[in-house]
Amino acid sequence: MRYVVFDLETQNIFQEVGSSDPTALDISVATAYDSETDTYTTVTVDELHKLWPIIERADALVGYNSNHFDIPLLNKYYPGDLTSIKSIDLLEDIKNSLGRRLRLDSVAQATVGAKKSADGLQAVRWWREGKIKEVMKYCEQDVKVTKQVFEYARKHGHVKFKDGARNREIVLNTTHWEELDGGATMTHSLF
C-alpha cells in the first residue's frame, strides 16, 4: 500500500475567523510524506500544487485528526475531491477504541518516544513573524512523528499513551487500513 502521511499549518485560528469550520482557515504550510519514494515534501500555500501529484498517487492518506481538520481544509484548495481517496485518521481510530481524543504529542511520546517540536499556535505566530522556515520545519516534524506512530500501530495493532505515571495501551482495529479501495487513479492536477 502506498500511503501519504500529511499535515497542515494555518495562517490563522478559529477564534479569529469566528467559526469552528476548518474551511474558514487559511493554510500556511503543508508537508506530505510519500511511502513509495520515502521522501518528505514541504511547501507554502503558494506551492500547494506540488503536493497534488503525490496525493493523487496514494492508496491512502494518513493523518492525525485529518478527517475533521486537514482533509476539509486542504480540499478547499484542491481542484478535485480529496474525500474520494481512502483516509486513515489515527485520532479517529484512537477515539473509537478509547472513547476520547488524545493529543498527538501524548501518543507519540508514549508509543515511539518522539515529540512534537512546537504547537499550532506557535506555528501561526512564526508565520506572522515571517519565520517561514520555522513553520516548515515544525510541519515536517509533525509528519515525521505521525508517520512513526502510524508505522508502529500498523505493525503492532496498538498505540500507547501516558495515563498518570504509567503507559497504557490502546488496541486499534487496523484491518481497514490495509484494504485497498480499488478506486480509479485521480488526475485532477494532470501530473
pLDDT, tens digit, for every residue of 24-71?
Answer: 999 999 999 999 999 999 999 999 999 999 999 999 999 999 999 999
Given a cut of 90, whether residue 184 has pLDDT beyond it is: no
Q: Which DSSP letter does residue 184 get?
A: P
Q: Which residue has the higher pLDDT, 79 or 118?
A: 79
Q: How many residues does the chain have?
A: 191
Instruction: Quote the crossing angle between the two packed helices 120-128 and 132-156, to the nearest 10°.
Output: 160
Count the Cβ atoms, other than its own, within 10 Å of residue 117: 16
How far apart are alpha carbons 62 and 179 in whole angstroms?
14
Per-residue confidence (pLDDT) for residue 188, from 0 to 100:
52
Per-residue confidence (pLDDT) for residue 182, from 0 to 100:
57
Given a cut of 60, whether residue 186 has pLDDT beyond it is: no
Hey, what CATH class is 3-89+102-178 in? alpha beta
How far apart are alpha carbons 176 and 101 in whole angstroms?
20
Q: List pLDDT tens digits, range 135-161.
A: 999 999 999 999 999 999 999 999 999
Mean of the pLDDT values across residues 72-87?
Answer: 96
Closest C-alpha among 6, 8, 15 to residue 34: 6
Q: List pLDDT tens digits, range 10-19.
A: 999 999 999 9
Take residue 113 and report the three cell numbers written for it. 518516544
Bridge-partner residues for 44, per DSSP? 29
How far apart are alpha carbons 53 and 164 in whole angstroms?
43
Take residue 183 and report the three cell numbers written for it. 478506486
Contact 26, 45 (CB under 8 A): yes
Question: Which spans in 13-157 are helix H?
Answer: 14-17, 52-56, 71-75, 90-98, 104-112, 120-128, 132-156
In sequence order, what are the residues at sequence separation of 6 or more whose Cβ sits closer than 8 angstroms to the Cβ of residue 135? 9, 28, 29, 123, 126, 127
Per-residue confidence (pLDDT) for residue 33, from 0 to 100:
98
Q: Percent of the chain scored above 70 by pLDDT?
A: 94
b/e burial code for range 157-167 (CB count within 10 A of at least 16 → b) = eebbbeeeeee
Take residue 38 and report the three cell numbers written for it. 520515502
Report the Cα 17 to chain-centroid distance in Å. 22
Q: Domain limits of the chain?
A: 3-89+102-178
